[in-house]
């Protein structure tokens, strides 16, 4: 059998600590070898046997490291990915892939030249509720889709002093949650014909955008994507309306809360959402409602697929082209909001 791939994780803030480190360690064939952090005590409190360095270049130059995972602030994604690829490492970048489409193309070109894999961590393809939507749309249960609504709302009325909420490149909700909302939509329906986006700052004292509403236009349907930080009472996650009925789901996938609570990925109950969705359809001339249980989600499937791509040459879980497609829509969305008009997607 192949020896485990040794992973260096750059960044041990919320995303690195809560998402990446536990998922890497819980995926067979991967081992967390190094963490790049200025706070060795914080890392060793969780992973006493992991090497900690404070310089990413030291991790990139380490011949023992096979894969680099970048979970640092968004504006550092591209330069760190380029540096890791230059040292011959395979690279996973947390979303957003980069801050600009030009940067994204540069990273993909660098990976091609280096003969190494680069992918973006789109873990929410493995949300249980999204897997349920994917099944219902794919098997025709809902008929031809006419409206797709995807919400990622939270109630966070107080602006926090953290880089995600600063007025800096790659900051704000469109770059934070937009990649998830867009990637899931494109997975279902492909690229749209046009995109119209409204990005705003609605909280008192907001520096970075904290509200976004996007409409993606397709030939026979519309996709509406929404994220807000002043939404206390609307728990809608998905609403899909088609010619054969609707699917409604409230509440977010459980895996983030499980990771926050310290649940080990793969433990009993992992990814099991007890909040069932609802399927509404016509029967005997009247509308009836049925329980639609969510699929079981598992973010480890991303890392397992990346492992297989490195070791066996299979396709990565998120391809470079898919990463570029999302960045293209992110960039178009910014322009659309600035110009207050719908823009075509070439």
Q: Each residue of 15-52: b (16+ CB within 10 Å) or e?
A: bbbbbbbbbbbbbebbbbbbbbbeeeeebeeebeebbb
Task: For residue range 224-253, list pLDDT tens digits in order.
Answer: 999 999 999 989 999 999 999 999 999 999
User: What does the alpha-carbon distance between residue 249 and residue 134 come to, in Å, rounded to a whole number?
Assistant: 13
The answer to whether 308 and 90 have CB atoms below 8 angstroms apart is no
Residues β-bridged to residue 31: 6
Nearest to 293, CA basis, from 131, 144, 139, 166: 131
| Mean pLDDT, range 92-103, rounded to an integer | 97
pLDDT, mean of residues 46-75: 97
pLDDT in tens, 131-173: 999 999 999 999 999 999 999 999 999 988 877 878 888 889 9
- d(Cα 88, Cα 52) in Å, to the nearest integer? 20
State the average pLDDT over residues 325-334.
98
Q: Please tell me the predicted confidence (pLDDT) of residue 173.
A: 95
- The fraction of the chain above a pLDDT of 90, given in percent, is 93
Mean pLDDT to the nearest integer, 100-120: 98
- Mean residue pLDDT of the chain comes to 96
Q: Which domains does the chain have, with CATH numbers?
A: 5-121+301-316 (3.40.50.720), 124-297 (3.30.360.10)
- Residue 167 pLDDT: 81
pLDDT at 153: 95
Q: pTM of the prediction? A: 0.95
pLDDT at 201: 97
Q: 298: pLDDT confidence band, cut at 50, 70 and 90?
A: very high
CB distance 215 to 223 below 8 Å? yes
Q: What is the CA radius of gyration of the chain?
A: 20
Q: Which residue has the higher pLDDT, 322 or 294?
A: 322
| pLDDT above 70: residue 1 | no
Per-residue pLDDT at 160:
87
- Spatial distance between the Cα atoms of 328 and 73, rounded to a whole number of angstroms: 20
Q: Is 324 left (phi over 0), alpha (psi -120 to 50) or beta?
A: alpha
pLDDT at 346: 85
- pLDDT, tens digit (0-9, with 9 covering 90-100), for 167-224: 888 889 999 999 999 999 999 999 999 999 999 999 999 999 999 999 999 999 999 9
What's the pLDDT at 164?
80
**Residue 341, phi-psi category: left (phi > 0), alpha (psi -120 to 50), beta (remainder):** beta
Going by C-alpha positions, the residue among 235, 259, 255 that lies closest to residue 296 is 255
């Amino acid at each position: 059998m192949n020896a485990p791939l040794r992973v260096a994780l750059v960044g041990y803030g919320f995303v690195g600590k809560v998402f990446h480190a536990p998922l890497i360690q819980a995926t067979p064939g991967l081992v967390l070898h190094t963490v790049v952090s200025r706070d060795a005590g914080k890392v060793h409190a969780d992973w006493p046997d992991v090497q900690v360095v404070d310089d990413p270049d030291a991790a990139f130059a380490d011949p023992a490291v096979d894969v680099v995972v970048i979970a640092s602030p968004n504006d550092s994604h591209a330069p760190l990915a380029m540096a890791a690829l230059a040292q011959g490492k395979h690279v996973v970048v947390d979303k957003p892939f980069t801050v600009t489409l030009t940067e994204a193309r540069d990273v993909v070109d660098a990976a091609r030249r280096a003969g190494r894999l680069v992918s973006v961590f789109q873990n929410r393809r493995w949300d249980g509720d999204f897997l349920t939507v994917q099944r219902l749309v794919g098997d025709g249960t809902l008929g031809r889709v006419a409206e797709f609504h995807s919400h990622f709302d939270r109630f966070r009325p107080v602006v926090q002093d953290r880089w995600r909420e600063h007025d800096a490149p790659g900051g704000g909700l469109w770059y934070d949650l937009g990649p998830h909302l867009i990637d899931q939509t494109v997975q279902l329906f492909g690229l749209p014909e046009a995109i119209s986006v409204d990005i705003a700052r609605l909280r008192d004292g907001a520096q970075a955008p904290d509200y976004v509403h996007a409409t993606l236009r397709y030939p026979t349907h519309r996709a509406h994507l929404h994220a807000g930080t002043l939404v206390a009472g609307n728990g809608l996650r998905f609403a899909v309306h088609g010619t054969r009925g609707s699917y409604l789901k409230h509440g977010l996938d459980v895996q983030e809360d499980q990771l926050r609570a310290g649940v080990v990925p793969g433990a009993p109950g992992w990814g099991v959402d007890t909040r069932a969705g609802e399927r509404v359809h016509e029967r005997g001339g009247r509308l009836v409602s049925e329980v639609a249980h969510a699929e079981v989600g598992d973010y480890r499937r991303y890392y397992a697929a990346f492992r297989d791509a490195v070791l066996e040459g299979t396709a990565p879980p998120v391809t470079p082209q898919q990463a570029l497609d999302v960045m293209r829509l992110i960039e178009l969305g910014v322009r659309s909001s600035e110009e207050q008009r719908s823009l075509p997607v070439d």
